[in-house]
Structures are given as structure tokens and as C-alpha cells.
Structure 1
């Protein structure tokens, strides 16, 4: 028996989501007295692969195949299932990001395994096998018992502390049996934003709502984001009004994010918006309505006019920097 953690890269680089996943996998492997194996699909430099060992991997499977540059659910889940069979893995771990949410169900179907998405901690028990996940946009916790022999989890962002060591691991070549016909997704054009921090990867996000009173008042928000090295975001009404681009919309119907620090400026806190940010480690809310729902989920709240509060936040951020 072993634990297999699928680590997805972006342009050959691993993000903190992977390091959190491996830290969780390391603790789980210690709990079950087994080994943790990291799986990487695609062309990744050896130095990057060894980063996976520093966060807990005992061994690293590397599928150096250029075809894996583009995510394809069928091909990737087939390869992950083959890696699980090869390593006799009973538990397969993925991050609860867009990639994990796409691949975990397909992998579970391939392996005929039990699937739990958005796990938030180590198993409460292993006989029977019970894990916890948040439900109702984080307002409650469900305990899920998995009876299947093979168990597939996705780990909720910011639900486990990242731990690092100086260990190294053996990198083993892995050649999954996939055909060109398994890759049905074709990318015909790629347009990347090079001047902005990617919203889904950002550690800090500064987000605005209708309380910003219009697109002409957005510059101070962008100034705060620039000082903090943060990504910018917005609520759905803002993107619907075309104050901000659609790709900045966070919430249940937009991007689901989990930064370490989230600023909600002039956002009321509708349940759809909260569903998209509930994984944030710390939420700071500013609103002139003391009864705004956002204060129910905020770790820190400021009741006040943004015209007065935002300049003070900018000056405080400058002082810290």
C-alpha cells in the first residue's frame, strides 16, 4: 500500500497548493505507516521535481511526455489511474483546484474508488475511514465514511499547514500507456496576461464590490493591490455592470479562490460570493453597513466609508513595506 499525490505544474513550476498537498500527504502517510509518492505529468526540470521531496515525497514518478502540456481529463485520469496501479496506491490525493475538481471524479471512475472533494483535515478514523469536509459554503462540516478499497481525495486550500524539510527523493521515470487518441483537447491559441498576478494563484487578493461606487473610483484599490503584491478581484454585480473584466469575478458563479489574505472592499457578502472565498485564510472586510453579511465571515471588519478607509489602508501598507 502507498499514497499517491498528483502534483500539477504550471509552465514547469509547482505552486504552494502542491506543497500543501504533499505536507498533508506526508502526515497521512506517517499516520498509516506507508510511503508518499508524488506524480508529475509533463516536462518538468529535475530541480523542480526535487522540490516535491522537500515537502514530503518519498519517491517521485515523472512522466516526461510533451503531450501532457495541455490538460485533458481522459488522458490525465487514465495516466493517474495507471500510476496508482503501478504503486499499489490505496489513496490518491489531489488539490481541490480546477484541475483537481476535473480529474478526481474521472480518476475515481477509472479506479472504481470512493471520492471525497474538499477534505479539510486528516482522517478522524481509519477503521472505518472517515474524513471531514466543509458544506453549506463553509457553515457546517460533514463527516464522510469511505468504504471503497481505493480512496480519492481533493484537499481544500489553506486547510493544512505547509511543512518543509531538506530531504531528497528518487525520481523514477513513468511511461503511462496512453494513445494520441486519448488526448481529445486541442489548444489552438494561448493569450497570457503577463502584467498581472494570476488570481487563482495569488497569496493576497484585493477585491471590490458595488460599494466602490463606480469604475472611476477603482484606482485606490489597484494602488493597494500593487503595494501588497496582490491580485485584484470583484463581485458579480461589478463584473455584470462592466466596471471590471469578467475574469476578475470571484464567487460561486465565478472563480473559486483561497488566498492567505482577502480584502473585501464595499462587498455586501451575498452567499454566492462567500462560497467563492470561504477557503481564504484571513478575510478583511470594509463596509459602511454594520449589518452587512460579509462581517459574519470576516476575521477583521472595518465599518466606515471607503473614501476614508482605503487611503488609510494604503498608507498603512506603505509603512509596513
Structure 2
């Protein structure tokens, strides 16, 4: 473990690293988002972008990371890395960091990332800014400007780590734009076999038990229909669900409706919920508090329906409808039924 009293020469550290999180051989979307953001930062700093991949028999993912823009992939393969454990992953990555000295390390703010990031930063003795929603670079000092919600989302704080390296942050899924896949992009895959023993892992994974409750994949949804306090009652979500089903969409919600117990927290969009960027976001009865806007304002197209013409949501909406939700949504659903009838006629 790094000596906490040691003086760090920040000039010895170069390169941007991203943690390529995979589960059961599947690369998580947040890993692709980190590559997209990491590529921008690496280009600004005129340095190399490296993806760090741990696992067993995931060679195809290593190849994919190159196509998504990584200049290099540090692919650490071992039987003991096939399943995530805090001890094994933090040991292996800590040793890589100590040897290679990256100046920036980005990790997704997933369940695994939120476990790995703090353990890793403590071992390295560097700072960690958690749950970031924006990253910028101070080029003159090669400092990463890490912005995250603070005080319950009521303000945004920008944090720097001037004296220690690497500069680490966990980044909220769905916030950053995904890297573009380029079949022609070339890079280096360095396969590493770590010195890892069973005794290094204190907690053993005996069994995986999947939740019987289906996960709400808001971050990956192309269309989201969200309800807010303007619905008036929890029954209003039945109408939201009906429209979502018609559009093949997922159901989102504001924090106020979650706090009121109208819908489960898994549906919450916003700074204290999930950050999304679908192709279409329909906000029904959502006034547009800054905390909610921060979680969806990057959507390609925003449609707002609210009876208050002065609602802040209209300032960022591409299309706005002023009126009663309970009059507008049934009309919209009925219109979509007619569209289906017309499409069926064409198919016939």
C-alpha cells in the first residue's frame, strides 16, 4: 500500500485509464461511455487512452474495446478474476497503477464501481470524486475538473485532486456519450497473468441469486415516458404505463412521486436517480426542478405535457403541450391506436 506521507511527483504520471466493467462476459454500456469520455480527455492532454479489463476468457471484449477507441487494453486474465471480488480486483489494479502510473482513472458508478473505486483510492492514497456527472480538463495544470451533485442535488460541486495521482472518479451511467464503434481502429492488447492466490481473496462468492424483480433498464431505453407530481394520484401511472406500452417505452418518474410512494425508486430519473439520454423523453406532469432536468436534459427529443404554461420543463422541451394530462394522454393513446390500424392496413 502507498505511503500516505510520501510526496507524489505528478509529472511522473501520464495517460488516461478507464475500467472496462464486464459481467458474465458482457461489456457494460457504462464502459463504452467511459471510453467515449476518456477519448476526449486523452486527446486534450495529448496522451494515451487505456482500458483495463479483468476476467477470464473475455478476449472478444478486449478486441471490442480497441474498436471503441482504446489505444491499449491491459487485459488481466486469471481464473480468480472470472467473478468480481473486491480483494482480487483491487489488488491487481493497484499493482498495475503503481507500476504504470496513469494520471487519470475513470470507473463507472455501478454497484461494482462504487465498491472498487473507494478501496482502490485508499490503497493508492489518492482522491476519489464519486458519482460525477461532468468532467473537464484544466490543460495548463493537467488537472481533471470533476463535477458532481452536492447537498442533495441542490448544487453542483467541481472538485480537483492537485497533489496526488491518479486523479480518480466514478462516473454515473448514462451521463456520458458512448464511444463510436470503429472497425478500423487499431490498438495494442497486452495480456497480463497476475500473481494472484486463493489466500488473497478473503470473501468467496458461493452463489449468485438473481432478484425476482425485473430491473428497469432506464439508461438503455430509447423512449421513456415519465410521470410527476402533476399526475395528482398514484393511479395516474396507469395511464403513463399504458402510453409507454403503446410506444414500447420504459416508465420513468420524478423524485416527488417516488418519495410519495407512488412508484418504486428504480424508475426515478434525476440527480438522485438515474441519468438518461433516450431518443424520446415524454415528461407528463413534471414541472422541471433542476435536479430532474440534470438527469434527462441530454435526451434527443423532449416532449413536455403540463397544465402550467410557466413550468420550467418547457424551457428545455423541444415540444410543449399545455393542458390536463388526463385529457391529453387518452387522446394521444387513441391517436397511436389509429396509427397501428393504418400500419396494419399497409402490411396487409
- Give yes or no for TM over 0.5: yes
1:133 is the counterpart of 2:147: yes
Distance 2:80 2:328 in 1: 50
Q: 1:107 aligns with which of 120, 139, 163?
A: 120
Aligned residue in 1 for 2:6: none
Q: 1:29 to 1:220 in 2, by over 3 A?
A: same
1:263 is the counterpart of 2:276: no
Q: Deviations over 1:27-78 (max 9, x none)?
A: 3333333322211222454333322111211222223445545544444333
What RMSD, in angstroms, separates the aligned Cα atoms of the two structures?
3.7
Which stretches in structure 2 are left out of the alignment for 5+ residues?
Answer: 1-13, 344-348
1:289 is the counterpart of 2:289: no
1:190 is the counterpart of 2:227: no
TM-score (ref. length: structure 1): 0.78
Q: 1:298 to 1:148 in 2, by over 3 A?
A: farther
Q: 1:300 to 1:140 in 2, by over 3 A?
A: farther
Q: 1:167 aligns with which of 171, 181, 185?
A: 185
Distance 1:174 1:317 in 2: 56
Distance 1:17 1:42 in 2: 17
1:225 is the counterpart of 2:238: no
Post-superposition offset of 1:6: 0.4
Q: For the Cα contact (< 8 Å) 2:225–2:283, is it kept in 1?
A: yes
Which stretches in structure 1 are left out of the alignment for 5+ residues?
Answer: none
* Larger-Rg structure: 2
Q: For the Cα contact (< 8 Å) 2:35–2:69, is it kept in 1?
A: yes
Distance 1:279 1:94 in 2: 23
Question: Helix, strand or coil: the match of 1:247?
Answer: helix
Question: Helix, strand or coil: the match of 1:218?
Answer: helix
Query: Superposed, which structure 2 residues align to 1:24-173 within 5 Å?
Result: 24-43=37-56, 45-65=58-78, 67-68=80-81, 70-117=83-130, 118=132, 120-127=134-141, 129-135=143-149, 137=153, 140=156, 142=158, 144=160, 146-155=162-171, 157-160=174-177, 162-165=179-182, 166-173=184-191
Q: For the Cα contact (< 8 Å) 1:6–1:80, is it kept in 2?
A: no
TM-score (ref. length: structure 2): 0.73
Number of matched residues? 318
